[in-house]
Chain A
Amino acid sequence: MRVGRILGAALALAAAIAGCGTGGGAKSVAGKDTLVVGVSKDQPGLGQRQPDGTFKGFDIDVASYIGAHMEKTPKNVVFKVVQYSEREKAVQTGKVDLVVSSYSITPERKTKIAFAGPYYVAHQDTLVRRTDTAVHNVRDLSGRRLCAVNGSVSWQRVTVERNVPARLVPAATYGDCLTKLTSDSLDAISTDDLILAGFALENNAVRFVNAPISDERYGVGIRQDDVTGCEDVNKAITEMYLDGTAGKLLKKWFGKTDLKLTTTVPQFEGCG
């Protein structure tokens, strides 16, 4: 029947139109089966690789919480070590979906990637050898040998932002810095108190100066165009503070240090 044929054709066309309405845009990490999270491997308390290849630390627990909130099973949250200097690139190229690695939100980094969070606001402080009693604040680092980790903003906050003429000693990781500090190859490490607190707990030969010079907002690095994923991560972080998990995790990893921990949700950077 003619009418039947016309109706049939119309329905086919309708299906085609309806099909056009869906999809479009790059895939959000929220919809992926497996979440690949870039982390660091040698930061006690934050992100540290164990001899058996697993990871542990505050960053790891936060990433796991975010993964669970995005309905990923623990098996489908995969951790991958990312070098400090390669974090932006790893996100941009899709090598990792998220970076959770004591990763400070900075205006410069924001020109390349987006940040969900911050999930915590740390403060930059300084670690020296216990025997070195002359360092009281960042200006006392003038002329001293300061550890400069490639890709970290911390040493720049001292030498560029604060204009303190410290002598820079390059290192690949903060683990390296600590080795060099205790072996007298350099005089000071200036970076986030959460990182330094972990070191100070494990090592008796070093001392915390306790003169903060910055707010370090730890963000979750994510592709710039993935606004949905970024919003979902923010939801997870909000939930993490609301249900008390954040407080528990902070206590679990840093409760033994002298740090004053903030257990209320930080002011987010905003997505898109």
Chain B
Amino acid sequence: MTLTSAPPSRPPARRSGVARAIRVRSLPGRIRAFAFLVILALAAVFAVSALAVQDARDGLRVIGHDAGPQVVATGDLYFALSDMDAQLAAVLLMGREQNLGSGRARALQVYDQRRSEAHRALLQGSNLARNDPAEQQTARSVLDALGRYEQLAGQALQLDQRQSHAAGPPSKEVGDLYTQATNLMKLDVLPKAYNLTLDNGTTVRRTYESKHSEVLAGRAWVLLTGLVLLVILVGLQVYLAVHFRRLVNPVLALATVASMILIAATVGVLTSEADHLRKAKNDGFDSVLSLSRARAISNNANADETRYLLDPALADTYEQVYLDKSQEILYVPAGNLAAYYKQLDQRVAARSGFMGFLGTEAQHVTLPGQKAALDRTLRGYQGVQHDDSRLRSLATTSGGRHDAIVVRMGTASQHFAAYDQALVRLTAIHQKAFQNAIRDGDDGLSGWNIGLPAAAIVIALLVLAGVRPRLSEFR
């Protein structure tokens, strides 16, 4: 290396500025230049590390603490709302008969319980949505519509009790009030709650896609800038060894080792953060979302079964939407319900050839206990459909309507509750995987806000401490 050569491409202006400042032509000047480069590279490592760590933190916050929990809250809201309407339909269908299923009093009790659950979920939902004006507006309009619903439901219940009818469709006035109430629920309230769940699902998906890839890209940048830092550090070491005839500068060597540790640790933490995000999304969140939707649709379909008995004028429609919803939950190719029951049993027994929410779940078994919980859910679902088949064939034979109502309020309602419980347990397995992944992700990042800058400062001080004695030899 000659002392005179300077790259011809370097603009003269810079030489007169920067170059003069660090007096690059002299030996101490070169050492200073090296030290300057080290600090520059270190700053780059620090910057890309901090950015990538921030990306991971943002991902965890949105997925784990914001939109993710919102999915659960809005799912609970949907369930409570749709079960309110299901209980109302059940009470009106039972009429004055006291010994159908768990009875009128119990159904009214559940109705009240769901109502307060709905209010609680709405409150929680709007708390979580405090950063999103559109979601807050939706939460408010759901609350308004729910108020109107409760009023109509109250009127229907009161009138129905006064009129005291046998089990079966209530009087026309009560029926009209119920139709108004259920339409409000079905056309106004429930869609909003369901779309909120979907919106949050979208937020999680998009956040995951961007943050997961940004964390991985950030890791590549850390590796790259880290490599540059190490090369310069080693270069400085060699330069000092050549010019001062010493084999190793121990302080600089320490800085090099510290840098290696920092880079390795950062790459390691980013790798595991990306993995935690992936696990939270793929093993936890995706299933929580689709099973929440399955639960919402199931509960709604179950209520459609009651409405089928309650409102003969719309029985055809209620049967069609029941089939439609059943196929959304578990799809097998079938043009009508009779074919659906048959195909369902065959394909579930074979554990293949079915799609829909439960089909997707069956194709992605990764967690301990998931298979057993899934099997219970599928068995439960089959049980629900067997009851449905029995109930509809009773309802369409002459004189069988009352028997159909007995089935609906008795075994069908018990079997549905068992299926719902199985579904809830299956969801809980994914929920746990989700929470664990988020917690691991949070834990992995704890301390990095202080650790990262502290490490960078320590390394910078080591570098300066390493070159200072050499520079002082020139004073």
Contacts and interface: CB of A to CB of B under 8 A. Distances in A.
Interface stretch (A13-21, A45-53, A167-175): A13-21
A183 interface: no
Interface stretch (A56-64, A143-151, A264-272): A264-272
Interface stretch (A3-11, A65-73, A247-255): A3-11
Contacts of A270: 198, 201, 293
A185 to B, nearest CB: 26
Contact of B202 (A2, A215, A231, A264): A231
Contacts of B356: 107
Given A21-B220, A212-B314, 11 more contacts: A6-B231, A10-B228, A17-B221, A18-B217, A21-B214, A108-B333, A161-B323, A264-B191, A264-B192, A265-B195, A267-B190
Interface residues of B, number: 46
A121 B37 CA distance: 66
Interface in A128-148: 137-138
A17 to B, nearest CB: 4
A272 B335 contact: no
Interface of A: 1-4, 6-7, 10, 13-14, 17-18, 20-21, 106-108, 110-111, 121, 123, 137-138, 156-157, 160-163, 211-215, 227-228, 231, 234, 238, 242, 262, 264-268, 270-272
B335 A160 contact: yes
Interface string B17-39: 00000000000000000000100
B99 interface: no
Contact of A267 (B37, B191, B227, B320): B191
B317 A215 contact: yes
Nearest to A14: B224
Interface stretch (B254-262, B324-332, B415-423): B324-332
A14 B206 CA distance: 25
19 contacts: A10-B227, A14-B224, A17-B224, A18-B220, A20-B220, A21-B216, A107-B331, A107-B356, A111-B331, A157-B320, A161-B335, A214-B317, A214-B320, A215-B320, A238-B195, A267-B190, A268-B195, A270-B198, A271-B202
A11 B441 CA distance: 31
B403 interface: no
Contacts of A268: 191, 194-195, 198
Contacts of B293: 270
A214 B201 CA distance: 29
B176 interface: no
A13 B224 contact: yes
B221 A212 contact: no
A1 B4 CA distance: 12
Contacts of A161: 320, 323, 335-336
Interface string B338-382: 000000000000000001100000000000000000000000000
B112 interface: no
Contacts of A107: 324, 327-328, 331, 356
Nearest to A270: B198
A160 B336 contact: yes
Nearest to B191: A267
B187 interface: yes
Contact of B316 (A3, A4, A214, A242): A214
B235 interface: yes
B7 interface: yes
Contacts of B225: 14
A65 B76 CA distance: 33
A227 B209 CA distance: 12
A21 B191 contact: no
B191 A266 contact: yes
Contacts of B235: 2-3
Nearest to A260: B183
B318 to A, nearest CB: 9
Contacts of B314: 212
B439 interface: no
B321 interface: yes
A266 B198 CA distance: 13
A246 B231 CA distance: 63
A163 B316 CA distance: 12
B317 A213 contact: yes
A6 B34 CA distance: 14
B198 A215 contact: no
B232 interface: yes
Contacts of B205: 227, 231, 272
Contacts of B194: 267-268
Nearest to A269: B328
